[in-house]
Structures are given as structure tokens and as C-alpha cells.
Amino acid sequence: MKRKPQALGAAAIVAALLLTGPPAFASPAPGAPGVGDALWPTAGNGGYRVERQRLSFDFADGLESYTATSQLNLRATQSLSRFDLDLLGPQVREVKVDGKPATWQSTSDGELVITPRRPIRDGARFTVTVTVFNTAPDLEKNPPAGSDDLLNGMWRAGNHVQLHAQPVGLRRVLAVDDHPSAKAPTTVSITTTGSANSVANGRLVSTSVSGARTTRVFDEPRPLATQLLQVGVGPFTVVHRRGPDGIDLRYAVPTDMADAVLPQLDKTFPAAIEFLSRRLGRFPGSVAGVYATPSGGALETQGLTWLSAGELTPETFVNNGFDGVVAHEIAHEWFGDSVAVARWSDLWLSEGHARFYEWMWNDAHGRNTIEQNARHAYEVHRKWLGANGPVAAPDAASFGGSDSKPFAEGVYAGGALTLYALRQQVGDTTFERIERAWVSENHDGVGGTEQFIATASRIAGQDLVPFLRSWLYAKGTLPPMPGHPDWHAA
Ligand SMILES: [Zn+2]
């Protein structure tokens, strides 16, 4: 799915053509500064599509800073006098359009406004190259003081570097079209000094050494949303395994923790892929893996899941149910990664599904049943509906200026609860058919809420529009749970 044309509606364009005949080319106008996302109006951009992105990182010795270059192949969807990329913070060194210097202006709300020497015609393919200088703050010396904003971007944890780009953090690292609907095949090049290893999404396609400097190039041919990029640098070891359905597994683990971490990964990671493949169909890509970092945290970075190395040690892994988190992140490979959200208000399609299959995994592994988890979520739902609004229409104002909006409990638990209600309504077999249709029809694409509702109705052979809307857009209280008339909200 792509952004809409701006000023003129289709009817107006037809009328204009009838009156004047087709113009030689439309007069160039600025591309929109955003895709019109209600939660982040300036996220992403209008007037072009990204067809391919090549992102290069050249780290200084010591990893405190880096030079980053984005080379984006774009195709204009209107005649452009100028266009925007998203960039917030880094120092711009150079901007070129089709190899020629372009004028640019960086705004305080995260837009890099680029004016090429000549306007770009509607439909034309062109290349923009932006080089920036940036620093990678040390998380241990400067721990974030309560603000999620500080976590977004590229940072160091001890002697490791990692990236937290979700949801709009990549613009803090280099210039990109920073919206999940702007997916594109991605090549990442990482240059480091000394013995540090490096890793990124996709496959390692080349390694070259020049003196003390090593450059590794990774290629992800599947479209990748900017929020799902991962770039890791540090003293880690990469091991390869053969995974379910013949996919390649790649684990990047801190070298000094490899013996402690790998047994848990070997036990859980392929098992989680198998568990989900049985329900959803084949894993969406041909490569899967983990970047296990000393910093903690977990994120569904496509084909290279970020997991906390500390949580993968035997001391903590067995007791705290971290395997449920692994299953959650793997579920995102289908929901959120392969099928990206069309708008941020559709986030329940990603996080709700991941939570639902996490519940399912935990149920199958002797923890709370899915009914217990759903019942608990149902009982407390008024709290999160009151805090942030409906599951599929979160209230932007309720999140303030946080970089983490709209990752709120209502999106996770409310999304999972909606899926549970749907399963109760249509039965297990039909529910599984809906899920399989959703991930296969939108494989490596983009999906939104109304599209999911239409898919569910078509596959179930019944009009589920009123039912699903009553769950997804409820303002104060959710409908009664099918099959559980005894469930009540507190
Ligand atoms: Zn998640």
C-alpha cells in the first residue's frame, strides 16, 4: 500500500484532463513531508517510493562515532520540485541527487528537505545519497533516565554496538524514508577497525580487508521496513545451523558467553519456528537468526532477532519463561515483518498477533492456558482502553511526545484478545485458515486493519465486519466474549 496523491482527487484529475488534454508533464511540486499517519504525521514521505536502500556504516576505532551513508533508489510518484527524507540529529556532510550535489535543509521536526538541481518527473527513477556523521552513545555510562527517546537510535553497550530503530529510530542514525509502509530490499555495509565482528539483516555476501579495516556487506533481498534494521558490532561469534524447512540459522552471540547461551538457543529457537510454521505455513524468509546482545531487550529485527544474551543463560532462561519471548519475536517474522503495518494505528496486527502466539506457546509449554491469559486481559481491559483509546485507533495525544508510542498494553493485549474473540466466533479451523490466508496473501507486503477484517469475512464466509469492528474500535468496554458469558470487566 502506498501514499495517496495530494491536492487533486481522481475525479478532479479526470475533469482537468478532459478540459485541457494531458499536459506534457505536471508542474513540479514538493513531496509531502509524511505519509499522513495519524500517530506520526511526518513519518515517511510523499512523492516517491523507495525501491532499494543501501546503507553504509563506517565506525571509528573505539566505536564512539561513525559515518553513515544512505543511498536510496527512488521512483517519483509525482513531479517533484523537492522531496523529504527523515533525519533527526546527525550532522549532514553531503547530499547528492543522481550523483550531483543538491541543496538541503534539516528541520527540527526530523525532515531533511532536498532540492535537486532540476525537478524530477513523475515516474522517473532517481538516486539520492546522503552522508552523515553521528555518535553512538554509551548506554552504560549514560543510562536512559526514563525517556524512551534516548533508547532510539544506534548505541553502545560495553564493547558492543547495536541499533534500536523501532518505531522511528532509524532517522536518528541516518537519512531514510522512516515508515513501515516504505519497505525495500536492503544492503548494509559495515566497516570496522581491528578484530570487532559485525552483523546485519540478510546474508553476508562479502568480506574485504584493507589494512586494519574490515568491511562486511549483508544483503536482505526481501523488502525490509526501516524499523526492523539491525546493525551489530562487537566481540561476538557467529555460528550457523540448519533450521526447519532447510532455512539457514545464524546466531551472533558474545564470544565470552557463547557456551552459556547457545544451548538455550539450540533448544528454543528452531522449536519456536517449527511451532509457528505448523500453524501459519513456512517461515517467511530463507534465513533466520539472533543477535544476542549484552544490553538486554528483545526486538523482531527481520531475520536477525535481537535477544538479550543475559536472558539466554541457563540461570535465568528456565525460570523466567524467556522462551515465550522468543516465540513472540518469531511470531513477528510473519506479523509485522513479512506483513508490515500499513499505518501505526494498525500495530495491533503485529503486536496483538505476537502476543496471541506467545500465549499459545506458553499454553503448550505448561504455563497459563490461553483461556487464562485471555480472561485476565478481558477483566482489566477498561484500564487500557481508558488510557490510550481503542485497540485499532489509539489516541495520539495520550502518548505525549514519546518515541515509543503506540506500543501500549491495549495494542498488545487488546489485539490478542480480539484474535481470541475471533477464534471463539468462527472456530479453530476457520481461524487458522484466516491466519494462513493473511500471511500468505500479504507475504513481504503491507496490511491494515480493514483489510484484515475483509480477509477474515471472505475466508469465514460470513460478514465479520460488525463483529471485528466492535472489538477493534470499542471506546470504553469491549463486547461480551463469545462462549464465555461469565467473563466480566473489572
Ligand atoms: Zn512484539
Angle value at C-alpha 336, between 331 and 337, nearest 5 degrees: 85
Residue 23: is the preceding peptide bond cis (ω within 30°)? no
Contact 309, 412 (CB under 8 A): no
Q: What is the largest CA-CA distance in the chain?
A: 75
Q: Is 6 helix (H, G, I), strand (E, B) or coil?
A: coil
Cα 273 to averaged position of ligand 1 atoms, centre (Å): 16
Cα 262 to averaged position of ligand 1 atoms, centre (Å): 23
Cα 325 to averaged position of ligand 1 atoms, centre (Å): 8
- Kindly tell me the sign of the dihedral angle through the C-alpha atoms of 138, 141, 142, 143: positive
Q: What are the residue ranges spanned by the domains of the chain?
A: 10-234, 339-472
pTM: 0.93
- Cα–Cα distance for residue pair 288/327, rounded to 1 Å: 13
- Cα–Cα distance for residue pair 75/73, rounded to 1 Å: 7
- Cα–Cα distance for residue pair 87/136, rounded to 1 Å: 16
Instruction: Give the number of other Cβ atoms within 10 Å of residue 400's Cβ.
Output: 7
Contact 433, 458 (CB under 8 A): no
Contact 155, 172 (CB under 8 A): no
β-pair partners for 57: 68, 190
Cα 351 to averaged position of ligand 1 atoms, centre (Å): 5
Cα 104 to averaged position of ligand 1 atoms, centre (Å): 36
Cα 51 to averaged position of ligand 1 atoms, centre (Å): 27
Residue 10, pLDDT score: 42
Cα 105 to averaged position of ligand 1 atoms, centre (Å): 35
Cα 228 to averaged position of ligand 1 atoms, centre (Å): 12
β-pair partners for 113: 84, 105
- Cα–Cα distance for residue pair 367/315, rounded to 1 Å: 19
Cα 409 to averaged position of ligand 1 atoms, centre (Å): 11
- Cα–Cα distance for residue pair 87/91, rounded to 1 Å: 10
DSSP one-letter string for 358-393: HHHHHHHTTSS-HHHHHHHHHHHHHHHHHHH--TTS
Cα 347 to averaged position of ligand 1 atoms, centre (Å): 10
Cα 328 to averaged position of ligand 1 atoms, centre (Å): 6
Cα 276 to averaged position of ligand 1 atoms, centre (Å): 15
Single-letter amino acid code for the residue at 353: H
Q: Is 477 helix (H, G, I), strand (E, B) or coil?
A: coil
- Is 2.60.40.1730 the CATH number for 10-234? yes
Cα 92 to averaged position of ligand 1 atoms, centre (Å): 33
Contact 241, 266 (CB under 8 A): yes
Cα 29 to averaged position of ligand 1 atoms, centre (Å): 39
Looking at domain 339-472, its CATH class is: mainly alpha
By the CB criterion, residues less than 5 angstroms from ion ligand 1 are 351, 354
Cα 150 to averaged position of ligand 1 atoms, centre (Å): 20
Cα 327 to averaged position of ligand 1 atoms, centre (Å): 10
Cα 182 to averaged position of ligand 1 atoms, centre (Å): 20
Residue 148, pLDDT score: 52
- In the block, residue with C-alpha cell 460488525: 466
Cα 446 to averaged position of ligand 1 atoms, centre (Å): 17
Cα 254 to averaged position of ligand 1 atoms, centre (Å): 23
Cα 305 to averaged position of ligand 1 atoms, centre (Å): 11
Contact 353, 331 (CB under 8 A): yes
Distances (CA, A) of 175 to 185, 221, 282, 386, 388: 16, 20, 34, 36, 30
Nearest to 442 by CA among 433, 453, 452: 452
Cα 432 to averaged position of ligand 1 atoms, centre (Å): 20
- Cα–Cα distance for residue pair 179/1, rounded to 1 Å: 12
Residue 233 half-sphere exposure toward CB, CA atoms < 13 A? 30
Q: What is the CA radius of gyration of the chain?
A: 23
Cα 35 to averaged position of ligand 1 atoms, centre (Å): 23
Residue 7, pLDDT score: 38
Residue 316, pLDDT score: 81
Cα 233 to averaged position of ligand 1 atoms, centre (Å): 24
Cα 298 to averaged position of ligand 1 atoms, centre (Å): 8
Per-residue pLDDT 10s for the chain (490 aa) are 333 333 334 444 444 444 555 455 679 999 999 999 999 999 999 999 999 999 999 999 999 999 999 999 999 999 999 999 999 999 999 999 999 999 999 999 999 999 999 999 999 999 999 999 999 998 877 766 655 545 789 999 889 999 999 999 999 999 999 999 999 999 999 999 999 999 999 999 999 999 999 999 999 999 999 999 999 999 999 999 999 999 999 999 999 999 999 999 999 999 999 999 999 999 999 999 999 998 888 999 999 999 999 999 988 886 778 999 999 999 999 999 999 999 999 999 999 999 999 999 999 999 999 999 999 999 999 999 999 999 999 998 888 777 777 889 999 999 999 999 999 999 999 999 999 999 999 999 999 999 999 999 999 999 999 999 999 999 999 999 999 999 999 9
Spatial neighbors of 120 by CB under 8 A, at least 6 apart, are 28, 76, 79, 80, 83, 97, 126
Distances (CA, A) of 489 to 165, 376, 476: 36, 9, 11
Q: Which grid coordinates are listed for 152?
A: 532510539
Contact 410, 385 (CB under 8 A): yes
- Cα–Cα distance for residue pair 409/400, rounded to 1 Å: 16
